[in-house]
Structure 1
Amino acid sequence: MTSAVATGDLTRSITVDASGEVAELKDNINSMVESLRETTRMNQEQDWLKTNLARISGLMQGHRDLEVVAGLVMDELAPLVSAQLGTFLLVEDGAGEPTLRVVGGYGHRASGRRFTLGDSLVGQAAASRRAIVVDAVPADYVTVSSSLGAATPRHLVVLPIPFEDQVLGVIELASMSRFTETHRNFLDQLMETIGVNVNTIVANARTDVLLTESQRLAAELRARSEELQARSEELQRSNAELEDKAALLARQNGRKGIETLMRHDDIDLVLMDVMMPEMDGYAATAAIRAMPRYGDLPIIAVTAKAMRGDREKSITSGASDYVTKPVDAEDLLHCIHRWLDG
């Protein structure tokens, strides 16, 4: 007996008839072997749990497509717990209430089906955040089929996939045999692992969407900025030319302004200050309009303040347009461009 235990054989026990101290020794040895057998079984179960938790968690690493992940998980999980059918569902927030959508399966095809929370066993498991176990599945509930025939699974387990205070999905498994306690412990721990991985994938997907949108907006902003910069530079060049021309006439009184105008054939527009000395702007405008060669020359009248009748008086004198001081530079430039472009 001791040789068998020493070599790891814990299946044996002492069965000889004995009495007294020998019987007590026999019982103690058998009890020790049974304790070793149970400890070994528990250690083997823990090793199995840890190994398979790490293996399935590793399968999920590095993926960004949840449907691919669902397929990988179901392909490994169902055979591991002796299940013949399985379904992987994820919670999706649509325009209305959240729904569960089938994204993966084992032994059947049901992708795309949807269930509302609280509807059917999968919806109830998600709504209550509790596992549901059925050990007497009706004969007409679902069928496991192969090329050799078909049979009805008798045992069902529905497990929510938790993450912190929310449920991200549900996994449903059906089996011909009852799920063992080891399988149940494994499934409970695995759901938490799957929840962490699913949340990471969802968060990465959201980050990718935000990054793509941010890059698109940044590109649009750069293009818009370049367009505005080009327009600003063009406007500055145009404004500089206009300011040079305006400065040439703004320094003159009415009479000298007319003399300057007559000496230059390249003047395209006149800014006429109606408050000039010697000859005011009204008289200077009328004098310019009296010359046929300047009949179409744009003249913009500028006055120090908006007095009643100033606009009418300026237009009557021959001005093309009218602005008042203090002059808004942008408004004045728009007015100048309008007459020069027209």
Structure 2
Amino acid sequence: MRKLFILLLSAGCIVLSAFTLSSLIKVFNFDLSAPAVLEEGQDSAYRVVLITQEMDTPFWDQVEKGASEAAARHGVELAVWGSYGTTNQVDFLRKMEIAIASKVDGIIVQGLDTDVFNKLSTVKAAGNGIPIFTIANDVPIEKSLRRTYIGSDHEKAGRLIGEQLASDIGVKGKVVLMLSDREEDYQNKRLNGILSALQSQPGIETILVKAGDTREEVMAATTQIMNSEPQIDGFVSITANNTSAMVQEIAKRSKLSRFHLYSFDDSVESRTLMKEHKLNGIIEQQPEEMGKVSVDLMVQWLSGNMFPLNYEGYFTEISLLKADGR
């Protein structure tokens, strides 16, 4: 009886392993293969969906503008879907799932480093033969099997701010780096860039603060760190949406001119703060170019004219804009 049980158990494991191996081979073989070339007379129009968590914001309006212009040029049917605010992940992920179920030709999506997003990308999208391009925010390829990334080099952006802080502060000081609670890929890369740039100045101490995602949480975290660390020389808002609340709370407590203040956000609000000399500098990105390049690459990939893609990504230009214009 025992031998029979062991025999049945072993057979079950072998069958299960075979199915698992078959599924993995299917996913990875799909990921490494080129798309089918269009046959003569085949309709060349593709259906592509652009999905974001931040609909109707100036940044994503520019992304949509670039993508729409490229889609019109290529004769692509482009739909723009999304949610309103980064806290509404359920609605955002539902839009992604609907796009996959609709069997669109390609999905260009703001990356979200969560288990649900990665499962949608690796299993459902790959299983249906739908390429995923991440835009503006990336997700590690080993987690998501996304085809490529189009957007800013966030680690380089971090280095630009880190180098400027080293120049501003000199050999000794304290800098607060304000983070979101969410472990996003772009946030980690920005942080790594800042820390690598400051390695040349061991006298500059960095203080990491998880400031939450709401305005109230950011203001509370700013107050708390200013109470516990009175000798702060600079603040950096790693997550763009936290900038305004951070600056507002600092201004309540002290003169802004005492600090070196930087942000990765080049929104209208942040540009206004910089013009008013309430921010020393911001990272300027190229959202319209991101939209254009993403659609151009998707069309080239779908038509078989772009293989292999650069899996590391296609970086758009960034620069550090400073309040003093230098």
**Same fold per TM (> 0.5)?**
no
Length-normalised TM-score, structure 1: 0.25
Ranked by relative contact order (alpha carbons within 8 Å, sequence separation 6 or more), the top structure is 2
Q: Over alpha carbons, which structure has the higher Rg?
A: 1
